[in-house]
Amino acid sequence: MMRIVKPKTKRAKRMLEKRAPKLDENQKRLMLLQGTKVSSLIKNVMSDLYHLKKAGGNAVKFSKKNDKIRPFEGGGEAPLEFFSSKTDCSLFAFGTHSKKRPNNLVIGRMYGHRVLDMIELGIEKYKSITELGGGRKSAPQVGSKPCFAFLGEAFESKPELVHLKEMLLDFFRGEVVESLNVGGLDRVFVCAAAGDKVYLRHCGIELKKSENSKFPSVELVEVGPCLDFTVRRHRKPSVDLRKESMKAPSKTAKKKVKNVKGDSLEGKVGRIYMPKQEVEGMALAKMKGLKRERRQAAAAAMGAPSEVDDHTVRAEGASSAKKLRV
C-alpha cells in the first residue's frame, strides 16, 4: 500500500516540497553504487563520474558494498528503487566485476523511483582525469553546457546504440536553459562507434589566436575520462511506462492582472482609478468655533455688521431696485 508521508517538522516539509512534482523539474541527480566485487578500474571510472556530476550536489556516491542488487534479475531492482527514493536520484551507475563479466558498469534511469531502463557496458580501456592532467578543466563550470558529437551510422540504426545515445545525452546534458553564452561551451563529448566497440572521449575546448582570421581557432584537448567499451545487455522501458514518463504537463498561462505592470527600475507598478469626488456635498466635521451664534457675538463685540444684518440689507436693496424698475 502507498503510504502518505506527513512532515512533522518545517525542515521535513521543505524537503518534501523540493521533491514534489513541478512544471520545470530540477536537474537529474546521479547515484553511484558498487557490488560485492569491484575492480580498481571500475572504482576509478565511478570516481571520475562523481567528479563530473558533483557540482551543485547532483551526485551521491555510496562506499558500502551491496550484495542484493541484481539489476537484470527479477526482484534485484528493489534496493535501487529504495536508494532512489531516499536520495531523490533519477540516474544510477552500478559497478561490478566478475569472471563472466569483467569490469562491468550498469547505467540506468529512474521514473517515479522505479527503474525505467538500463544498459550494461563492459569497460576494456580507460584513461582517468589524473592520468590526462585534466584537473579543473574537466570539472564543469556553473551554468556551462557540454557539446555532443556522435560519429557513426550505428547510432541511428542499431537499437542498443540508439538506446546508448539517449542515455549519454540524459547523463551529461546539464541544466536546461533557454539561452547560453558561447563562453559556456567549454567541453565536448565525442562518441564514435566502430564495429562492436564504442569510443567515448571527454575533451576541453580551447580557443587560441589565429593568424589569418579574426575568429579564434578551436582545439580539443583530452581531459578525461576516456573510455573504450562494448555494449553487453540493455533493457528498454515498457511501452506504458515510457508513455507515462514522456507526458508533459499542460502549462497554464498566468492570468493577466489588470492595471499592473512591471518595470526594471520601479519594480511592480499599479494604476488606481478614482471616481470624481463631490466635495461640496460631503459631510464634514463641524468645529465649535465656526458656529453662527459665536460668529455673530464676535462681530457685535467688534462693532461690525453681522452676517444676518448684511443679508437683510442686501435683500431690501434688491427689492427697492425691482420696484424702481417697475
Q: Where are the domains of the chain?
A: 27-236
Tell me the per-residue pLDDT of 128-178, one tens digit each, with 9 for 90 and over: 988 887 666 566 666 678 889 999 899 999 999 999 999 999 988 877 777
Residue 231 has pLDDT above 80, yes or no: yes
Tell me the per-residue pLDDT of 277-294, one tens digit each, with 9 for 90 and over: 777 777 777 666 666 777
What confidence score (pLDDT) does residue 25 get? Answer: 72
Q: Is the pTM of this model over 0.85?
A: no
End-to-end CA separation in angstroms for the chain: 108
Tell me the per-residue pLDDT of 8-25, one tens digit each, with 9 for 90 and over: 898 888 887 777 767 667
Cell readout for 103 is 569490469
Mind giving me the DSSP string for 209-243? --SS-SSPEEEEEE-S-EEEEEEEEEEPPPHHHHH
Q: How many residues does the chain have?
A: 326
Q: What is the mean pLDDT of residues 182-189?
A: 80
CA distance 310 to 313: 5
Which segment of 6-15, 98-107, 154-163, 243-252 scores lowest on mean pLDDT?
Answer: 243-252
What confidence score (pLDDT) does residue 316 get? Answer: 46
Tell me the per-residue pLDDT of 37-49, one tens digit each, with 9 for 90 and over: 999 999 999 999 9
C-alpha torsion angle, residues 44, 47, 49, 53 (rounded to 10): -170
Residue 246 has pLDDT above 90, yes or no: no
The CATH number fitting domain 27-236, selected from 3.30.420.10, 3.40.50.10480, 3.40.50.150, 2.70.240.10: 3.40.50.10480
Tell me which of 207 and 43 has the higher pLDDT: 43
In 3D, which of 123, 72, 78 has the Cα closest to residue 233? 72
